[in-house]
Structure 1
Amino acid sequence: MPPEFVLPNYVLRVFTLFEQFSDRLALVRGERKSTYGELIADVLRIAAGLRDAGIRPGGKVLIMAANCFDAPALQLALHLHGCRALWSAPITSRREIDQFASLADADAFVYDQTTELGRELAQSLAPMTVRTMAELFTDGSPYEISATPVPDSVLQTSGTTGDPKLVHHTQAFYEQILELAGAFVANGFPLLRHYSSSPLWLASGQITSFFNLFTGGVLFLTDTWSPEEFYRVVSTERITSTYVTPPMLYELLDHPSGEDVDCSSLFMLNVGAGPATPARLRQGIARFGPVLRIVYGLSEAVVVTAQPGLTEDSAHPERLASAGTAYGDVRLEIRDDDGKVLEPGQTGEVWVQSNLTFAGYLGKPELTAETLVDGWLRTRDLGYLDADGYLFLVDRVHDMIVTTRRNWAIFCRPIEDVLASHPAVRTAAVIGVPDPVVGEAVHAFVVTRSPVPEADLQQLVTNTLNEMWTPAAIDFVPELPLTRIAKVDKVALRNLYRELHPDQTGHDDAASRAGEAR
């Protein structure tokens, strides 16, 4: 048998798990429900549909789907058939989709017929094999399991230029999720009822969906998210687990009826995809209890650290600002620019090693070589470890503010946390802007609950940090722009700065170009 073929496929391990609780509810989306036994049957029917469509083992299948009911079964069927699942994001621009499709070099296209972009793309990809997800549910001959090529997945992510990067995860990624799920069950944690608005084209959707299924929990899928819907579903379905970004958490905390809703079923409220301020986390603890779980990860290394059961520790109050400790098999190191490992307390770049780490960027060998070095992933995030292994993130490498004043580097995260600690402030974001004297100056965007003088916030930063970290100016805005995955969009903030201050952006062309490249 050629070395690129393996048996058993990890999906067979999944089937063995699912058969142990075949009568248990697995998936819920609206009125549709299925048990684990029915999920196995759906996977086999879709695999037969792939075969009957002429998609061979080892094929590369481009997928466009919302967070739909059949998406988990589709991926498991593709992997059972030994295929590469290439997940494209239906909310991105057509230009990005076309670039992704070109780089993916797919043999076939499968799409969710509810996605308008999917229907458009289906017409443009002819004569490639094209099927809707519904068309794969065939009643032909049963699927026969045999040796197949090693399955893998590719996720779409973008840099600040908007050009797609194809993040490649191998079977080892899913085997590690199986190991983590097994450890979760062995530790006696309760079965999860997970409410997910994270589709499978997101790394967070991959790990939360399959971790939940691999533990035998119930996965509640939705394409829509709002504070009202969240509180309704959590209270009526007795949801125990979910995942939100910091802006989504803030919406929950600011919702007027949130305090009146019974959320006592929550066991794990994961907060990730960006830093949440300690002030807001304190509010979250007061609202939901000790169920917040801070998670830090990237598309390239899906979970790096976690801090579950978040509480205010009087012995370590600073840990509300921490991303937690290494998760699962993760190894963490903080290194300087020369790759030297730094001591606890020293700030440098976060390097990660784990089976959850990606295998590279398809079609970009140079970028892969820059990012994966001797088995370690360079995250491009700056942070430090304390003596107990808690990770504190201070900035992205490319978001660090470089000032010639005392030749000192300024980090955005501490300033944002200080600004958000003011009772009149709902949220804040900081960027570096061109300055003719110091190279780059600190500039803040603030969303308030009630009016507050700019000078008061500047003085707060000066008193808490020092004058060098104080924003030179503050723009008060009704809301912060968010990316498509609900993270604060700093590229949009830089564009907004140029719109609001056209007379300031010409001071230093080089600094301006540096900001554009971030």
Structure 2
Amino acid sequence: MEGAVENQSPSQRNYVLRALERFAEYGDREAIVGRGRRLTYADLAAGVLSVAAALRANGVRSGMAVGVLVAHPPEAPTLQLAMHLIGSRSVWIDPAALRREVDDYLRLVPPDVLIYDPSTHEEQAAQLGARLGVPLLCLGAGGQGPNLLTPQPDAPSIADLLGADEPQSVFQTSGTTGVPKSVHHRQALYRQLDVLAQELLDAGERNVHHLTQTPLWHPAGQISALLYLFSGGLLVIMEKFDVGEFCATIERERVSSVFISPPMLYQLLDHPALDGADLSSLNLLSVGSSAAAPDRLRQGVARFGPILRITYGLSECPFISALPGVGDEPEHPQRLRSCGKPYGDVRVEIRGETGSVLGTGQVGEVWVASRMNFAGYWGQPELTAETLVDGWLRTRDLGYVDADGYLHLVGRVQDTIITGPGSRCIYPRPIEDVLVTHPKVRAAAVIGVPDTELGEAVHAFVVPDPDATVTAGELTELVRQELTPVWVPHRIQFVDSLPLTGIGKVNTKALRARYAAEHGAAADPIGTSV
């Protein structure tokens, strides 16, 4: 590569240049499958340069903030790399968020232009563009702005396209609080992905066929997509999780790797389509985004073998720990409740309320140090200062490290339930795990609710098997026997399903809203509700 490209030092060099070098090596190998389209690495590389030229032709410059409203188009990785090649800051918008949440987020990171997928977000983009008062650009034909996928005549050279500013990304997240957070990642995250990709290649993990349902506006979806593209794999994109189509896609594309959330795993295990499915190509089934019940993991191992891998990460640090080969160590059943050991360069400490490091087995907040830690919350300096302390990330997750170095999570700081006359702290995860051990229970989620006598009471939402005869009394007695009376749910509410977020997590914010709408401020005695 010529000119300005060659003159960049390794510490300044835009990571997209290295990605393009890798794509050139992979050539005509298939890179992305989605929406009936199949893109080779040559297509991907050419697309990055063409979209970068289209961005420049439509006024997007180095250092500008570019709002992106898409879900799963196969051109999303192309767009990401093109934006970063020219040095712009990608601002990823959650399409499923409430209007108020999107507006609050974009007040923190106001975009100079909005790019959207006209096949899925036409009306939403038109309204958002009008509120923002910014130009609209389209990732595809038929929209209200220029189509960035139109081939560009006389495309500039890479050196001419390369922006002077560092490529950066901002992601929208609100967790369970509803307060928007603007997760800002600098180029270090993407450079580290290149390191991890090389480790995969060195380990012989070549030409991995990875199936993703995680939307590419979320760090988890984007990071896994780029990791497998950097290592020369095939990225298979599924726009909506459907067990039948999921199984058919694995069989058709000979998928070897998938990432799903625990609720998706439960749906897969419970679906009749699984019995006739050929999933023999799978050799890695990663489960993450939230805690998985040990009993359901055992079912997964019984069905698929020891190919399950538990993963733990956050938008602020996508890779924290992993437990590969779940079920390979039957002499250590307690490890099914863990999320493994720290991954790569990650260091983990468990700290108390004063910030002091706690000992083995003591529950406290999980703190993380890694090169993949985010740079801060864009436009939120106070929140950044509270979360990034001396190079350490406060995850707001509660957990402990056992004597063998395995990390165990018990809940979120804000999900801690303080209950009873002694103000005892208890956590949702152990209760959920016990509830799911009942053979007639498919899934469970626990929240704390206001109670005039206890302060907070345990409220459990339980998804039973269809036509199951399980009762609230059976389940409360099960918790009483496995834990202690203080952990027993004050009320068990039977539901058909648990609401999920856009990336497949149980939406506890929606459960709290449901409880408030149905029950008001005070908790009722033990009972059932459908």
2:35 paired residue number: 30
Separation in 1 of the partners of 2:391 and 2:205? 32
Judging changes above 3 Å, is the alpha-carbon distance between structure 1 residues 207 and 322 closer, same or farther for their aligned structure 2 residues?
same
Distance 2:174 2:523 in 1: 26
The one of 12, 15, 18 aligned to 1:10? 15
- Is the deviation greater in 69-78 or in 445-454? 445-454
> Residue type matched to 1:216 in 2?
G
Distance 1:314 1:263 in 2: 24
Pairing 1:55-454 to 2, within 5 Å after superposition:
55-114=60-119, 115-116=121-122, 117-126=124-133, 128-134=134-140, 135-136=147-148, 137-146=150-159, 148-311=164-327, 313-449=329-465, 450-454=468-472
In 2, the alpha carbon distance for the partners of 1:92 and 1:495 equals 15
Corresponding residue SS for 1:338: coil
**Structure 2, gaps ≥5 residues long:** 141-146, 526-530
Report how many aligned residue pairs link the two structures. 506
- Residue 495, structure 1, aligned to residue 513, structure 2: yes
Q: Which runs of 4+ in 1 moved over 6 A?
A: 1-6
- After TM superposition, give the deviation of residue 234 of structure 1 in Å: 0.6
Q: Give distance in 1, aligned partners of 2:175 and 2:30.
A: 39
Measure how far apart 1:387 and its partner are.
1.7
Aligned to 2:144: none
Give the superposition deviation at 1:94: 2.4
For 2:455, give the aligned amino acid. Answer: G
Secondary structure, in 3 states, of the residue corresponding to 2:259? Answer: strand
Preserved contact between residue 348 and residue 384 of structure 1 (Cα < 8 Å): yes
Distance 1:341 1:197, change over 3 A: same
Q: SS where residue 257 of structure 1 aligns?
A: helix
1:485 aligns with 2:503: yes
On the 8 A contact 2:457/2:489 being kept in 1, the answer is yes
Counterpart-to-counterpart distance in 2, 1:107 and 1:46:
17
* Percent pairwise identity: 48
Amino acid aligned to 2:413: V
Read off the aligned partner of 1:288 and give its amino acid letter: F
RMSD: 2.2
- 1:390 and 1:160 mapped to 2: Cα distance? 26
Give the C-alpha shift of residue 442 in structure 1. Answer: 1.9
Distance in 2 of aligned mates of 1:485 and 1:458: 31
Contact 1:6 1:149 in 2 (8 A): no
Query: Residues of 2 paired with 1:29 and 1:498: CA distance?
Result: 40
**Per-residue deviation, 1:187:** 1.2
Range moving further from structure 2, 417-426 or 475-484: 475-484
Report the CA distance shift for 1:406/1:123 in structure 2 as closer, same or farther (over 3 A).
closer
Contact kept, 8 Å, 1:44 with 1:142, in 2: the verdict is yes
Cα distance in 2 for partners of 1:244, 1:42 equals: 29
Q: Structure 2: how far apart are the matches of 1:80 and 1:502?
A: 52
Contact 1:333/1:341, CA 8 A, preserved across alignment: yes
How far apart, CA to CA, are the structure 2 residues paired with 1:417 and 1:254? 17
Q: CA deviation at 1:32?
A: 1.1
1:324 partner amino acid: G
Tell me which amino acid in the other structure corresponds to 2:127. E
Measured in 2, the distance between the counterparts of 1:396 and 1:201 equals 24
Residue-by-residue CA offset, 1:432-463 (whole Å, 9 max, x unaligned): 22233332222222111111122221111111
2:177 and 2:451 map into 1 onto residues whose CA distance is 24
User: Taking structure 1 as reference, are residues 347 and 145 closer, same or farther at Cα in structure 2, changes over 3 Å only?
Assistant: same
State the match for 2:143 in structure 1: none
Question: Aligned partners of 2:450, 2:108: CA distance in 1, in Å?
Answer: 36
Residue 20 of structure 1 pairs with residue 25 of structure 2: yes
CA offsets, 1:183-205, max 9 Å, x none?
11111224310111222211111
For residues 113-140 of structure 1, give each alpha carbon's deviation from its aligned partner in whole angstroms, at most 9, with x where no partner exists.
11131233334444x3321123223423
Shift of 1:7: 4.7
Q: Measure, in 1, the Cα distance between the counterparts of 2:10 and 2:332.
A: 51
8 A Cα contact 1:296 1:304, kept in partner: yes
Q: Is this contact kept in 2: 1:325–1:391, CA < 8 A? A: yes
Unaligned runs of 5+ in 1: 508-518
- Give the distance between the partners of 1:8 and 1:444, measured in 2 at CA: 51
1:91–1:502 CA distance, 2 compared to 1 (3 A): closer
SS in 2 for 1:149: coil
1:314 & 1:69 partners in 2: Cα distance? 41
- 1:511 aligns to what? none
- Distance in 2 between the 1:153 and 1:502 partners? 40
TM-score, normalising length: structure 1: 0.93
Q: CA shift at 1:407, angstroms?
A: 4.0
Distance 1:279 1:111, change over 3 A: same
Which residue identity is paired with 1:362? W
The verdict on how the C-alpha distance between 1:471 and 1:18 changes in structure 2, with shifts beyond 3 A counting, is same
Q: CA deviation at 1:103?
A: 2.3
Q: CA deviation at 1:102?
A: 2.9
TM-score by length of 2: 0.91
Q: 1: distance between equivalents of 2:39 and 2:236? A: 11
Q: Aligned partners of 2:332, 2:263: CA distance in 1, in Å?
A: 25
